[in-house]
Amino acid sequence: MRKKQLLYILTLVMLVPFFSSCGYNRMVSLDEGVTSQWANVENVYQRRMDLIPNLVNTVKGYADFEQQTLTQVIEARAKATQVTIDPTNLNEANIQQFQQAQGELSSALSRLLVTIERYPDLKANQNFLELQAQLEGTENRIAVERRKFNESVQSYNSYIRSFPRVIYAGWFGFEKKAYFEADPAAQKAPQVDFSN
């Protein structure tokens, strides 16, 4: 019995330096960094979600405003709020699903802002102007946080895929994380036609 206890203690003493020198703690730290940065991404997307009802209510005050456009924004917001990702499961399919829902919301918001161009009184409304400025600032924050997220994922992925950690990272449950990727439509240059 004493030999077993001594063997356990000796094994534990030998494993402590292995875990500290193998980079396990660094993998944990980088993994937590990715999770933390994901929370920042969700935070700025939530900020945008919170601004949308105020924007919609401001626009609703204009009786002749296209109801279909408002409905599309409301539906896209509802759909985007339903897509959530567990930060421990940041795989390509989950991020793509999240990105698609957010992209549909961005598209609906863009259509709303283009439609507003036909309403000079609304464009001059101080509440609307403030909300539009906040929304633009939020879109910039989203871009910044997504970039920071990709940087933290790159650091994490590089670390766990480097030798010798690539051999045992999977044993401890450290798997490659997915990146935010650009929308494939963003690679096409917009067509500009001044012939009219």
Structure-token pair, residue 158: 């590089």
CA angle 81, 82, 84 (to 5 degrees): 90
CB 141 within 8 A of CB 47: yes
Band the pLDDT of 85: cuts 50, 70, 90. confident
pTM of the model as a whole? 0.75
Cα(53)–Cα(50) distance, rounded to whole angstroms? 7
Residue 97: name the closest of 83, 118, 107, 81 by CA: 83
pLDDT of residue 97 exceeding 50: yes
- Residue 173, sorted as left (phi over 0), alpha (psi -120 to 50) or beta, turns out to be left
73 CB burial (10 A radius; 0-12, 13-18, 19+): buried
Superfamily of domain 24-179: LemA-like domain (1.20.1440.20)
For the stretch 156-169, pLDDT in tens is: 999 999 888 888 88
CB 112 within 8 A of CB 69: yes
Residue 137 CB neighbour total at 10 angstroms: 13
Cα(124)–Cα(141) distance, rounded to whole angstroms? 25
Domain boundaries, the chain: 24-179
For the stretch 26-74, pLDDT in tens is: 999 999 999 999 999 999 999 999 988 888 888 877 656 677 888 888 8
pLDDT of residue 18 exceeding 80: no
Q: What backbone torsions phi and psi does residue 57 show, to the nearest 5 degrees?
A: -65, -35
CB 55 within 8 A of CB 131: yes
In Å, what is the CA distance from 4 to each residue of 8, 10, 18, 174, 183? 6, 10, 21, 31, 59
Cα(51)–Cα(47) distance, rounded to whole angstroms? 6
